[in-house]
Structure 1
Amino acid sequence: MKTRIGIYAPSLIAIGLALSLPVIADETPDKEIETIVVKGELLPTTAQNAANSIDVLNKEALEKSGAAHIQDVLQQVGNINYSSGSSRARFFQIRGIGERSQFVDPVNPSVGVAIDRIDYSEMANAATLFDIDQVEVFKGPQGTNVGANAMAGFINLSSTETGSGQEGKVRMSLGNYGFQQFAAAYGGDLGNKAQYRVSVNKVDGDGYIENTYLDRKDTNGFDELSIRAMFDVEVNRDWLLKAVVHKFDIDNGYDAFSLDLNRTTLSDEPGFDKQDTTAIALTNTYQGFTFADVKLFLSTSDSDLDYGFDEDWSYQGIAPYDPINDPDGEYAEYSSVDHYFRKREANQIDLRLSSKDKDWVLGLYTNNKNVELTRHFLDWDLWADATFSSDYKVVNTALYGEKRFALSSSITVAAGLRVENYKGDYSDNNGIVESTNDNMWGGHFTASKQYDDEFLAYFRLSRGFKAGGVNGEALSKLNDSNSQQFYFELREHANFKPETLTNIELGLKYSSAKNKLNAVATLFYSTRDDMQIKQSLTNPPATGSNDGPTFIGYLLNVPAGSNYGVETTVNYQLTSDVKVFAGLSYLETEISNIDRIEKHPDTGEKYRVIISVREQAHAPKYQFNLGTNWQITDSVSLDVSVTGKDEFFYSYSHDEKADAVVLANASLTYKGDMFDVTLWGRNLTDEEYGVRGFYFGNDPRDGYTPKNYEQFGEPSVVGIKVDYVF
């Protein structure tokens, strides 16, 4: 096993590089410095002065690559990964921590997602990027400002603000694989007391799969409509009212896994991945009191989330019964589809008091969420429709606060605390009724020193948490004849406890006064207690049976895990026309004492395997990006970049891995008086890389031999984007 010093050697080298660059930072003319305000913090904070690990992607960074969805730009951010198993990435991992899927059971996310402060955790299909002004990726526990949905981190998207000071835009984009985008955004003033902005975005595409059985290329395609509207009203001198309205109508296909382990499928009943969300939020800010300002945030959202797939990934007749060569029916096929229909309703209330000089905040938060699931499992061979339904009600209430102290002109300390009660009530049509009631706490203590106007160092100790829950699917299978062999395993894991994450972080931030160099280096060490991990029990169809394979997922706690590493970014103005940038993240993860059930390939006997000292799932050891921006003329610029990440394990229930990958990207932009034109390309060398993986047998042509089935990320995609700006 590596020593701790050996593990950190690359990290220390990277930090040394980031800190050695400032000695050459004073050789450029003065240039106006952009100030980026972080909107996901409780108190006003700029990105440069935040004693927290935050990556901010501005509108320019989001648009130059032709990105339509948040998953298209996350390669730019270190130590963040995502899993698919759907049309768009909905589950994210920060520093190796985060969920990877959702099927039957409710999910309590480790990484939260918000759009204009409305909670979209578990619903990131809606994270489309047109007219998004800023994306903030918080790394590490956000136990004070967010709470239960941000044990590992938090992704915060903010729309372009209202008013006539913002540009209007009409966009048309075209690309390969049938990609089309038509969008428009416009805002203005309604008298001298109100402002508004509205954006409409429509994205269509065939996807990157060819279904050769149906002779179609759109079974994994995109059909996405996003509408966001914002209104600001100055009711009087002290009272500002902000209203936000969201409408997302997403009707995507889902047909991604291939029996032939490539981008061609054989499904006769392709799946779907749909989301229909209407959300409204109101923010009331009142500044008329002498002792504090008051901010009241209210939101409600109503979503229909439909997800389904062809479970056998094939068609009836792909391996017909052969009484001569296969008299025992070992290769007999099955046929089934699995459909999930969720109705999700959520209501948030967040009341905050903050001091006039913005050095303390006190808040009360409550979130009521109700998720109703109806699952139809259709077996075409038996003409059976196994319907499962469940209801999950959650009420979480929190009291939180943060205080900043200026110990001197250069030293600031801050402390935050959040106490949260998370109550969940679960019931289903199998008679399972379970409740959880967890009292949890999180927070942070930070100390920062501003050595001068350019250099900041900080220390942060933080704690995050995630609620426990019920393994409804495991409980529902206790009396299933196909699952009797797993009875004791399922009974043992009926529910699971909360998890906590404790993080120690050292950060260094440099920004030259002349804005030639910006560098950030962060060293972190996290420990996970009562770590929640996803396990699966799988079993191929029995000989001679037309039933599908057994696949049961559940969460369990293991005593501990650890995640530690480094993150560095450097932006350097090489000349007046050329800017270079680089990022390197290094991550070590460890988990021990996991046990799982495996089947001997020769004897078929099942036995328990103990995993000792293994990396965590979806946690690549390194990630990097390297690129340049060349301002060729006043109107034309070229961006070229490469991003890459190491191999990583797909799951804890098996040891299959995604391969390491390096992706090349480029864009050429012309900015005119009224028209902007961008030629863009991602994955220009057409690398094949996995974004979700399973290990089991599903192909009747080879007797259901277990193998690693992967969903691949996007291939080489190119396009042109034309914006009319006014």
Structure 2
Amino acid sequence: MPELASKDLFKKSILSSVVVGALSSTPVYAQEGSGENELQDDKDVEVIMVQGTRRTTKLQDAPVSMTAFTELDIERSGIDRPADFIGLTPNVTLIETQNAGMAFITIRGISQNRDTQPSVAVIVDGVQQTDAGQFQQELFDIQQIEVLKGPQGGLYGRNAIGGAIVINTKDPTEYTQGKVRLGVDNGPGYRVQAGLSGPMGENWAYRISGSYYDTDGYIENTYLGENSDPLKDISFRGKALWYASENFEVDFRGYYSALETQPFNYRITFDVNEVLSPRTNNPGINDRDLYGGSIKMTYTDEEGGTWTSITAYDRSKELIAGDAYDFLPVEESFLYNLLLGFGLPEDAVYDQSQISNFGSKNWSQEIRYTSPDSERFKYIYGVYFVDTEQLQQNGARADFGLGFASPLDWISTDPSNPQLNFLSDLRNNFAWAVFANMSYEMSDDWVLDASLRYDRDERENVTQTPQAFIPNVPGFPVGTEGEVREKTFSEWQPKVTLTYKPVDAFTMYGGYSVGFRSGGFNQTGSDAVAGAAGIFGIKEFYEAETASTWELGGKFTLADNNIRGGFAVYSTTSENTPFFVFLQENSTQNIGTIDEAELNGFEFDITATPLPGLRVVAGFGYVDSEITEYGDPQAIGNQTPAVSKTTINLGAEYRQDLSDGLTSLIYRIDYQRLGETNFDIYETTTREPVSLVDARLTYDTENWSLSLWAKNLLDKQYNAEWSPGGFVYRARPRVFGLTYNYKFEM
């Protein structure tokens, strides 16, 4: 087997990923490939390292409210997709809805909507995602996940208004290692994941991994007599590290993901607590492709400082076609029965379908300098650029029960599927930022951290809609084909934190931060359509949102490190909070803004190991959101949309070693409670609290394991979303299965 020319250099390079792998809310077990399964000493439990603050820091020392998941957390709790780790995080919720790329994160009351920028910055292997549709992916070959709460604009810039999610995939290893994961569930669903890593010639190392998931789905379409949510996903990821010298290394990464499923499985009801099964007569099409890559170059100077350059390209494409309002078979639909009253023959087949086409591509570049960690005064400064092109097309077509026109052109000319309305916008965005942050150890007990970032987002919207389809509403301006609209959004984002650590077992921090989420354009003519329908607050563009937060928090360890936890109290003022409006008249998704809202709350979490092998966790989050300024007085005093007032997380894990000392049984149970959730600014419907239970039993050996698991064990029936207009989207019922893991090292 070829060996690296400089093993010391290689070991130094992978040391951070191995140490960071120790971060956990669980007891720390030996790392993959060590050949050990025993718990380490209690003192090692406290060696929990995180990188979300842009420097490697102990979790208990990091002056930010944060939840972190290691490779072992991910494996032991069965984290397969973003909803799984978010479901274990206090004060953070996720709404999964109409299509593969549509999922909304709400963190401390800062929510996300269709066609808005994300509510959190999502960073994968150092590259920030610029398209919200990239987030909802299969999670495989992951080293760690960190969820930072509260505005992180000073560190990560625009879209870090609610926090940041930092995901690091596994790095190449010094020796050849591999892992295979096989799974089956009650869909039936089948999952195959595999990874291989090792040296690749002189001064090179590699890692390749892939994932395949195929399921018939879990939610029945009672009209078609088949499941409404089948899904097929195939994804690949590759990495190559070149250790060019002791001071210089280059990291190449690439990925590809293709997904097929079905969209628009809505029902219409004005009671979010009424759970209804889908009854669309057309199963629909939802295809999504993601691919891209990055090159990261790192140079360490003679003083120990580090220059880092990250160049990245990302591309996403998603096509969605399915039933339209009111998502029922033709003979049951609102439109068909309405037309019967106007003389439509009873044997006619007439309804509507809808189609959406989304796409984005972007280039991004970040260059930063990081001073040595050994100094009392540490600093980072740099610049960031991203150039993005986005396409958004929406339209409605007649449905004569013959399916969709093929091919799915921009505008259908097929008489079996004629176009009724259509909007197309091309968006060109160029954003840049400059940033700097510093950390000064004023004494052994006191540390001052300060960050400042300026983001500027220059947005351009080109109307590609043919003139015949542009809405023409009397009393409102009429858009024109080829029209160019421009808008620039910018913001200074400071973050100042003072940390006090009088003893090793206790850390106290407090500070002020500002987050910023860029604004954008509604589709051409939507303001006129909304005005004609009497809907308040929809303009041709929506303003950028800012969130200013005061926070006080602490972290502690007790009982010889067998108990550790943290807490935070915060108060946020949000300006231009976005909310969603669907316009049935032109099948468009639009954004309005709330002038001002107040978000006040607190959270805490605690982890205890009262007995050898036993770990218990508890977390609680509370947020009180209130609309304080809005053009319509009826909404003032109401809650902001998509906010669960409370979240409760409880869990227990027990590891029972068997007689041979090399095998064990691991019992795990997790409980999540989502408090009352309001979904629109007028509080027309509120979802009752939802309680969910996951359970897992694992037989674990030196190099393989077998797990029997269930998600939503008690088969709670509830709606994941209620959208203004009465659209409800049913959540997944109970899913259970078996997973086999095998790992090897050469």
Give the TM bin, normalised by the shorter chain: 0.7 to 0.9
Please report how far the alpha carbon of residue 257 of structure 1 lies from its aligned counterpart in structure 2 after TM superposition: 1.7
Q: Secondary structure at the match of 1:60?
A: helix
Q: Alpha carbons of 1:533 and 1:717: their partners in 2 closer, same or farther (altered >3 Å)?
A: same
Which of 43, 66, 71 is the matching residue for 1:54?
66
Contact preservation (8 Å) 1:654, 1:695? no
Query: C-alpha deviations, 1:18-57, integer Å up to 9, x for none?
Result: xxxxxxxxxx974423533323322332322111111112
Q: Alpha carbons of 1:653 and 1:427: their partners in 2 closer, same or farther (altered >3 Å)?
A: farther
Quote the Cα distance in structure 1 between the aligned partners of 2:226 and 2:342: 35
In the alignment, what sits opposite 2:240? 231
Contact preservation (8 Å) 1:372, 1:390? yes
In the alignment, what sits opposite 1:448? 499
In the alignment, what sits opposite 1:713? 731
Quote the Cα distance in structure 1 between the aligned partners of 2:277 and 2:111: 29
Quote the Cα distance in structure 1 between the aligned partners of 2:617 and 2:258: 37
* 1:333-412 equivalence runs, <5 A: 335-357=351-373, 359-380=378-399, 383-385=417-419, 386-412=421-447
Query: C-alpha deviations, 1:615-653, integer Å up to 9, x for none?
Result: 111111111111211112251110112110111111226
Contact preservation (8 Å) 2:221, 2:277? yes
> Which amino acid is 1:641 matched to?
D
Give TM-score scaled by structure 2 length: 0.82
Contact preservation (8 Å) 2:113, 2:579? no
Give TM-score scaled by structure 1 length: 0.85
Quote the Cα distance in structure 2 between the aligned partners of 1:519 and 1:302: 40
Q: Secondary structure at the match of 1:171?
A: strand
Q: Alpha carbons of 1:550 and 1:356: their partners in 2 closer, same or farther (altered >3 Å)?
A: closer
In the alignment, what sits opposite 1:520? 566
Higher mean C-alpha displacement, 183-192 vs 509-518: 509-518
Quote the Cα distance in structure 1 between the aligned partners of 2:731 and 2:449: 41
Query: C-alpha deviations, 1:297-332, integer Å up to 9, x for none?
Result: 110012212233311312323369789995788999
In the alignment, what sits opposite 1:545? none
* 1:427-466 equivalence runs, <5 A: 427-430=462-465, 431=480, 432-466=483-517
In the alignment, what sits opposite 1:486? 533
Query: C-alpha deviations, 1:427-452, integer Å up to 9, x for none?
Result: 11243421111221102001111122
In the alignment, what sits opposite 2:707? 678
Query: C-alpha deviations, 1:201-249, integer Å up to 9, x for none?
Result: 11111222222332222x3112111211121110011101111111111
Contact preservation (8 Å) 1:425, 1:436? yes
In the alignment, what sits opposite 1:38? 50
Which of 653, 656, 659 is the matching residue for 1:632?
656
> Which amino acid is 1:151 matched to?
I
In the alignment, what sits opposite 1:134? 144
Quote the Cα distance in structure 2 between the aligned partners of 1:127 and 1:290: 40
Please report how far the alpha carbon of residue 401 of structure 1 lies from its aligned counterpart in structure 2 after TM superposition: 0.5
Quote the Cα distance in structure 1 between the aligned partners of 2:717 and 2:541: 38
Please report how far the alpha carbon of residue 259 of structure 1 lies from its aligned counterpart in structure 2 after TM superposition: 5.4
Q: Alpha carbons of 1:345 and 1:327: their partners in 2 closer, same or farther (altered >3 Å)?
A: closer
Please report how far the alpha carbon of residue 485 of structure 1 lies from its aligned counterpart in structure 2 after TM superposition: 2.6
Quote the Cα distance in structure 2 between the aligned partners of 1:499 and 1:191: 50
In the alignment, what sits opposite 1:611? 635
Please report how far the alpha carbon of residue 384 of structure 1 lies from its aligned counterpart in structure 2 after TM superposition: 2.9
Which of 159, 164, 182 is the matching residue for 2:192?
182
Q: Alpha carbons of 1:569 and 1:335: their partners in 2 closer, same or farther (altered >3 Å)?
A: same
Query: C-alpha deviations, 1:351-378, integer Å up to 9, x for none?
Result: 0011133610011100111102233421
Higher mean C-alpha displacement, 256-265 vs 686-695: 256-265
Please report how far the alpha carbon of residue 476 of structure 1 lies from its aligned counterpart in structure 2 after TM superposition: 4.5
In the alignment, what sits opposite 1:220? 229
In the alignment, what sits opposite 2:618? 582
Q: Secondary structure at the match of 1:168?
A: strand
> Which amino acid is 2:513 matched to?
S
In the alignment, what sits opposite 1:652? 681
> Which amino acid is 1:346 matched to?
N
Contact preservation (8 Å) 2:96, 2:104? yes
Quote the Cα distance in structure 1 between the aligned partners of 2:636 and 2:509: 35
Which of 593, 601, 608 is the matching residue for 1:557?
593
Higher mean C-alpha displacement, 154-163 vs 371-380: 371-380
Contact preservation (8 Å) 1:679, 1:719? yes
Quote the Cα distance in structure 2 between the aligned partners of 1:618 and 1:151: 16
Q: Alpha carbons of 1:661 and 1:30: their partners in 2 closer, same or farther (altered >3 Å)?
A: closer
In the alignment, what sits opposite 2:3? none
Please report how far the alpha carbon of residue 659 of structure 1 lies from its aligned counterpart in structure 2 after TM superposition: 2.1
Q: Alpha carbons of 1:575 and 1:499: their partners in 2 closer, same or farther (altered >3 Å)?
A: same
Please report how far the alpha carbon of residue 487 of structure 1 lies from its aligned counterpart in structure 2 after TM superposition: 7.5
In the alignment, what sits opposite 1:250? 259
Please report how far the alpha carbon of residue 108 of structure 1 lies from its aligned counterpart in structure 2 after TM superposition: 2.1
Quote the Cα distance in structure 2 between the aligned partners of 1:512 and 1:195: 42
In the alignment, what sits opposite 2:8? none
Higher mean C-alpha displacement, 424-433 vs 514-523: 424-433
Quote the Cα distance in structure 2 between the aligned partners of 1:197 and 1:396: 32
Contact preservation (8 Å) 1:83, 1:100? no
In the alignment, what sits opposite 2:670? 641
Aligned residues, how many? Answer: 656
* 1:253-292 equivalence runs, <5 A: 253-258=262-267, 262=275, 264-290=277-303, 292=305
Identity of aligned residues (%): 21
In the alignment, what sits opposite 1:534? 580
Q: Alpha carbons of 1:612 and 1:723: their partners in 2 closer, same or farther (altered >3 Å)?
A: same
Query: C-alpha deviations, 1:577-634, integer Å up to 9, x for none?
Result: 22111111111111134456xxxxxxxxxxxx72120111111111111121111225
> Which amino acid is 1:316 matched to?
V
Contact preservation (8 Å) 2:396, 2:587? no
Contact preservation (8 Å) 2:580, 2:724? no
In the alignment, what sits opposite 2:741? 723
Quote the Cα distance in structure 1 between the aligned partners of 2:172 and 2:134: 24
Please report how far the alpha carbon of residue 124 of structure 1 lies from its aligned counterpart in structure 2 after TM superposition: 3.7
Q: Alpha carbons of 1:41 and 1:324: their partners in 2 closer, same or farther (altered >3 Å)?
A: closer
> Where in structure 1 do 4 or more consecutive aligned residues deviate above 4 Å?
259-263, 319-334, 487-490, 549-553
> Which amino acid is 1:85 matched to?
T
In the alignment, what sits opposite 1:16? none
Query: C-alpha deviations, 1:458-510, integer Å up to 9, x for none?
Result: 1121111122222224x3563x6xx67338957x7222322211111111101
Q: Alpha carbons of 1:87 and 1:169: their partners in 2 closer, same or farther (altered >3 Å)?
A: farther
Quote the Cα distance in structure 2 between the aligned partners of 1:330 and 1:594: 47
Quote the Cα distance in structure 2 between the aligned partners of 1:487 and 1:664: 43
Quote the Cα distance in structure 2 between the aligned partners of 1:404 and 1:48: 17
Quote the Cα distance in structure 2 between the aligned partners of 1:136 and 1:323: 52
Contact preservation (8 Å) 1:585, 1:624? yes
Q: Secondary structure at the match of 1:353?
A: strand
Higher mean C-alpha displacement, 400-409 vs 647-656: 647-656
Q: Unpaired runs of 5+ in structure 2?
A: 1-39, 401-414, 466-479, 659-663
Matched, 1:623 2:647: yes
Please report how far the alpha carbon of residue 684 of structure 1 lies from its aligned counterpart in structure 2 after TM superposition: 1.1
Matched, 1:416 2:454: no
Q: Alpha carbons of 1:406 and 1:435: their partners in 2 closer, same or farther (altered >3 Å)?
A: same
Q: Secondary structure at the match of 2:226?
A: coil
Higher mean C-alpha displacement, 310-319 vs 175-184: 310-319
Query: C-alpha deviations, 1:509-553, integer Å up to 9, x for none?
Result: 013484311111111111112333334456xxxxxxxxxx66654
Q: Alpha carbons of 1:262 and 1:173: their partners in 2 closer, same or farther (altered >3 Å)?
A: same
Q: Secondary structure at the match of 1:144?
A: helix
Q: Secondary structure at the match of 2:634?
A: strand
Q: Unpaired runs of 5+ in structure 1?
A: 1-27, 539-548, 597-608, 697-707
Please report how far the alpha carbon of residue 335 of structure 1 lies from its aligned counterpart in structure 2 after TM superposition: 1.6
In the alignment, what sits opposite 2:128? 119
> Which amino acid is 1:633 matched to?
D
Query: C-alpha deviations, 1:275-308, integer Å up to 9, x for none?
Result: 2111111110011354842110110012212233
Q: Alpha carbons of 1:142 and 1:343: their partners in 2 closer, same or farther (altered >3 Å)?
A: same
Quote the Cα distance in structure 1 between the aligned partners of 2:697 and 2:459: 51
Quote the Cα distance in structure 1 between the aligned partners of 2:541 and 2:295: 37
Contact preservation (8 Å) 2:230, 2:262? yes
* 1:291-330 equivalence runs, <5 A: 292-312=305-325, 313-318=327-332
